Structure 1
């Protein structure tokens, strides 16, 4: 029987789903091996579950999201979350550090029409997840590896080392050592190919914390390179704000 693949979206920008569409030739090959039963970014045709592999983009930000992800989990043999929103709450999780009611009152003319939770949380906070693929957006090569691995019945070969390792692999000079540039590379999960350091910029932490990190040890280096407490807080509170906050113990 042909395996069924489903792709669902919660609160997100669609960037990680677009990464799958950008696979182009590989996607055509994949389409010949699986039944893409649900992928509204690509087709309005919807097939029923259960699904052998389900990819979920986006964070849980409403009660409806929470109920929906439980239904998705129930009809999925394997559930993989893709991207910073699904794995860490996304940039919208900045609400977790503030008063969402105040945001509603400032942004919306009729805040009483808005039905939202006080927090933005990763899918894993609500249901069991079989694998989390990091990134904002995810890397296409890693995505294809994850899909292939699950369809083949093996564990995905996704490294959990830091961006510093990737810089060494490509021969990129350390921007912190050479130029005193603040960089989250030592604590960030590899996957982007160390693009920012290759162009002389510090890593922004798009892929979230690496497998083993020591964030408290990095803070003094950021301060040495000119960042005060507020700068450091803003540096960490981007795509994976809650994940880095957890590593910092805050």
Structure 2
């Protein structure tokens, strides 16, 4: 895939990565912290037929990317905006603020404040409509890091409450585990806990 994306980049004027797998390595980036051979052996009846990389990385780690359309899954309205922007030769206008703004707009009670849950809403880019908090689940970070995400401050806040380091590491290592700021913070927490 790394060779294929380099070939694609050479042939394109504009390269847009779509979804958490393309923009941040996706859920399969969890292998970056484990023995992928062990995963293959436990999942597949005939692991000898499986060929895979030991790490999962964002496409932007390999080639220049012009725009990242984030999400797991992506938002269809954002996809239409990106396509319209490309046709009109302008920059796409997608949210850059955090999920917390979406919660406030919906009138959703903050789960961090009321229940002390390890929510990634303050450091996650908006786009989902704050679906998880509406159903009393903390934000899982499906749309990746928001602009200027301050993950260390969020970890400090959560760890001062009832959240453990392990819970915070698991929160950061989700759909966007290989997103730079999420990865840096989860690695920092892991190194401090050992």
Could you state the TM-score of these two structures normalised by the residue count of structure 1? 0.69
Cα RMSD (Å) of the superposition? 1.7
Quote how far apart the aligned CAs of 1:221 are. 2.8
In structure 1, the partner of 2:153 is: 217
Q: Say which structure is richer in strand.
A: 1
Of 75, 89, 97 in structure 2, the residue corresponding to residue 161 of structure 1 is: 97
Structure with higher Rg: it is 1
Once residues 200 and 224 of structure 1 are traced to their aligned partners in structure 2, the CA distance between those partners, rounded to angstroms, is 21
Deviation of residue 106 (structure 1)? 2.9
**Whole-angstrom CA distance in 2 between matches of 1:121 and 1:181:** 28
Q: Are 2:26 and 1:90 aligned?
A: yes
Q: Which runs of 5+ in 2 are unaligned?
A: 189-194
Q: Which residue of 2 aligns with 1:181?
A: 117
Tell me the alpha carbon deviations over residues 191-210 of structure 1, each in whole angstroms, 9 at most, x when there is no partner.
00111222222111111110
Q: CA deviation at 1:179?
A: 2.9
Indicate conservation of the 8 Å contact 1:84/1:134, yes or no.
yes
Tell me what 2:143 maps to. 207
**3-state SS, counterpart of residue 73 of structure 1:** helix
From 175, 191, 199, the counterpart of 2:127: 191
Pick closer, same or farther for the CA change 1:170–1:108 going to 2, 3 Å. closer
**Distance in structure 2 (CA, Å) of the matches to 1:110 and 1:199:** 40
1:238 corresponds in structure 2 to 174
SS across alignment from 2:14: strand
Quick one: higher RCO (CA 8 Å, sep 6+), 1 or 2?
A: 2
Contact 1:187 1:214 in 2 (8 A): yes
* Offset at residue 248 of structure 1 (A): 5.0
Task: State TM-score, norm by structure 2.
Answer: 0.88
